[in-house]
Amino acid sequence: MRSFSVNLHDKMCSLCKKSSSTISAKLGVCKQCILTDFNEAMKIVDVNRLKFRKLYNLPVLKPNSKAGVSCGDCVNNCMLAEGEFGFCNLVTNINGRKVRIAGDNIKGGFFSFYYDPLPSNCVAGPFCPGCTSSGYPKYSYAKGPEIGWNNLSVFYQSCTYDCLFCQNYQYRKGVHLTSLSMPDVLIKALKQNTSCIYFFGGDPSSQIRHSIAVGKLALEKAKKEKRILRVCWETNGSARPSLMKQAAGIALKSGGSIKIDFKAYDDCLVKALCGSSNKFTIRNIRNIGSMTRKRPETPLLVVSTLLVPGYIEKDQIEKIAKFLMEINPSIPYSLLAFYPAFVIDDLPTTSRKHAEECFAIAKEVGLENVWIGNKHLLR
């Protein structure tokens, strides 16, 4: 782990002039100013964000042409003028028609994949049939961890968000450099000891149609071969709710899960830190949460939040926990440790005190299954 030192003179909010070790100079503003003076705060944040969008040749702004073509596959709902590309860089307008460059079962997808031995370090691992006795014997081959088995981990090389603390930002360098691959490529890649498919990235939201096509083929294969083949998603939850319902249906039938990264409850914080709204994330958690009682033996929905020092603290965790309580108190909730990465590399790693306080408030609200992930990172 890198050592962390800070010059408080450089760690100053550009609006209120407050100095603190938990203010990111790379973001430019403190949490309080984002919450209380959002429009002015975003003027500062956007200047910093656009520099990095340009660095990776990504569209710097979400297209919003009134006369443009609507995409609608995610919360950004890009309105594309002729020749413009969507925020994810995978959709464009050609001759007045929306054209998807990648991310469905027609053009194929931009992704890489590898085999991850079970039990894995997946965020949903503490409740996963492949890592525990959850769902055995209907959804798991072993009473306990599926030692000797693997999951097919599919990394989609695109995203609907622009998280300035992205811990997988390297994918941006390779977008459009890999070949397009059709859904059946992943079905052919399944081995005899592969018991689940796991979509992440980047984020599968930007190529949700492709992942759904893979999931449907996986269900067909599992039924034909009478085998267990779980299908799981790890996502920011920004895909159109009707598409996320399809994904959730596949996960439900297969014994898989939908793991949604709930960045923050207050939308202004999500927009500042991640460049997009959490409006669809909230809707998708509510929708999928309503399905969780259909399969109580192993969780369908898992929610996580990254504890970003100075920005994602007890107040956000309490609001998220109360929201989840209204849906189903048994929904697993994982609190993840932050470490300096990508643009926001000037904040300290999450402290043990920070994590334990957030854990305590989530339990106090009433959630039954709360845990702290990445404990080895805590300081």
Residue 10 has a pLDDT of 66
Residue 199: C-alpha distances to residues 108, 157, 168 (Å): 15, 11, 14
Looking at the predicted structure, is the pLDDT value of residue 8 above 90? no
Say if CB 369 and CB 128 are below 8 A apart. Answer: no
Residue 4: pLDDT band by 50, 70, 90 thresholds?
very low
CA 268 to CA 16: how far, in whole Å? 17
Residue 5 has a pLDDT of 43
Mean pLDDT of 273-286: 98
At residue 312, what is the residue type?
A: I
Residue 6 has a pLDDT of 45
Residue 3: pLDDT band by 50, 70, 90 thresholds?
very low
- The pLDDT tens digits of the residues spanning 303-324 come to 999 999 999 999 999 999 999 9
Residue 345 sits at φ, ψ, to 5 deg, of -110, 15
Residue 127 has a pLDDT of 85
Looking at the predicted structure, is the pLDDT value of residue 68 above 90? yes
Residue 121: pLDDT band by 50, 70, 90 thresholds?
confident
Q: What angle do CA 57, 213, 130 make, to 5 degrees?
A: 95
Looking at the predicted structure, is the pLDDT value of residue 133 above 90? no
Where would I find the beta strands (DSSP E) of 144-278?
150-156, 194-201, 230-235, 258-261
Averaged confidence pLDDT in the chain: 94
At residue 379, what is the residue type?
A: R
CA 362 to CA 90: how far, in whole Å? 38
Residue 124: pLDDT band by 50, 70, 90 thresholds?
confident
Residues in a beta bridge with 302: 259
Residue 266 has a pLDDT of 98
- The pLDDT tens digits of the residues spanning 325-354 come to 999 999 999 999 999 999 999 999 999 999
CA 139 to CA 14: how far, in whole Å? 52
Mean pLDDT of 118-125: 86
Mean pLDDT of 125-152: 93
- The pTM for the full model equals 0.95
CA 78 to CA 64: how far, in whole Å? 6
Please, how many CA atoms are within 13 Å of residue 199, restricted to the half-sphere of its CB? Answer: 38
Residue 172: pLDDT band by 50, 70, 90 thresholds?
confident
Residue 57: both structure tokens together: 């040749």
Residue 176 has a pLDDT of 54
Residues 6+ apart with CB under 8 A from 347: 22, 24, 165, 308, 309, 310, 338, 340
Residue 249 has a pLDDT of 98
Residue 342: C-alpha distances to residues 26, 27, 346 (Å): 10, 11, 10
* Cα end-to-end span (Å), the chain: 10
CA nearest neighbour of 70 among 88, 86, 58, 59:
86
Mean pLDDT of 104-120: 94
- The pLDDT tens digits of the residues spanning 9-23 come to 468 999 999 999 999
Looking at the predicted structure, is the pLDDT value of residue 366 above 70? yes
Beta-strand pair 97-100/301-307:
unpaired
What sign does the CA torsion over 337, 339, 343, 347 have?
A: positive
Residue 177 has a pLDDT of 52
Residue 304: both structure tokens together: 């996580």
Domain boundaries, the chain: 111-377
- The pLDDT tens digits of the residues spanning 220-278 come to 999 999 999 999 999 999 999 999 999 999 999 999 999 999 999 999 999 999 999 99
Looking at the chain, the whole-number percentage of residues with pLDDT higher than 90 is: 89
Looking at the predicted structure, is the pLDDT value of residue 174 above 90? no
Looking at the predicted structure, is the pLDDT value of residue 173 above 80? no
Say if CB 281 and CB 269 are below 8 A apart. Answer: no
CATH architecture assignment, domain 111-377: Alpha-Beta Barrel (3.20)
CA nearest neighbour of 205 among 270, 281, 272:
281
Mean pLDDT of 14-35: 96
